[in-house]
Amino acid sequence: MRPFEVVPLRAFADNYIWTVRDSGHAAVVDPGDARPVLDYLRAEKLELVAILNTHHHADHVGGNADLLRHRPVPVFGPCDERIGEVTHRLRDGERMTLPHFGAGLEVMEIPGHTRTHIAFHGAGMLFCGDTLFAAGCGRLFEGTPQQMYESLSRLMRLPDTTRVYCGHEYTLSNIRFAQAADPGNAALHELEAKAKQLRDRNLPTLPSTIAQEKATNPFVRCAEPGVMASASRYAGRRLTDPIGVLAAIREWKNHF
């Protein structure tokens, strides 16, 4: 494996296109827009070597076609015909090697936000698109609360130090909701102070880590008494199973 760094390119209002790069090459994750990628490649004199897609939404794949016109590179993505540009359709448990960099990544199918959403993990990194956010999770557009619960539970079994590269800068608004859903959680106040400092300087709050999510994310803390109690209050009935809690707080957050 060659040494590399991971840098965020901004797209649209709050998307991140995570870019694995060294002094001459780059691979991009979820290029919703080709423009910021092409500008960065030109400014830094980098050659594009691969595209990775986590799910079919336009703000994650919309730049594929223009990037492929610039340079025909392999596109790694889910088994979903809605992303026409994917050249390597990957299933749960399949492994891939990041071209040029040699980093081994394993694919996890993590449905919930969409039916075919995948994550890539390896080399201490997790690229999880719109399933897991810092202190939050994606909306359930195609999946069920049970699927999202199982997907998040699987991600939480990755090593605590895994760096979590999410698809959007939603951290501060997620923390505001998390404080309502998990009011006794002191770790949220610490995270809020840290995130505010970063955002005041216009810096990303990401990557997060699996340990940070276990400590602060109400959607992975659905079995904690404090989250269960506030979810029950919102639902107007006593919720006792974590999937019911997740369903209630996801619904709550949609209107928060």
Binding mask 111-150 for Fe ion (x = CB under 5 A): -------------------x--------------------
Residues binding Zn ion (CB under 5 A): 57, 130
Least distance in angstroms from the C-beta of 33 to Zn ion: 14
Catalytic residue among 30, 80, 130, 182: 130
Is 241 one of the annotated active-site residues of the chain? no
Using N-to-C axis directions, what is the helix angle for 242-254 and 171-181, rounded to 10°? 120
Least distance in angstroms from the C-beta of 12 to Fe ion: 9
Asked if residue 59 binds Fe ion (CB under 5 A), the reply is: yes
* Binding region for Fe ion (CB under 5 A) out of 2-10, 142-150, 164-172, 177-185: 164-172
Least distance in angstroms from the C-beta of 152 to Zn ion: 15
Is 55 one of the annotated active-site residues of the chain? yes
Least distance in angstroms from the C-beta of 60 to Zn ion: 6
Binding mask 194-233 for Fe ion (x = CB under 5 A): ----------------------------------------
Is 168 one of the annotated active-site residues of the chain? yes
Catalytic residue among 56, 57, 100, 117: 57
Q: Which residues bind Fe ion (CB under 5 A)?
A: 59, 130, 167
Active-site residue numbers? 55, 57, 59-60, 113, 130, 168
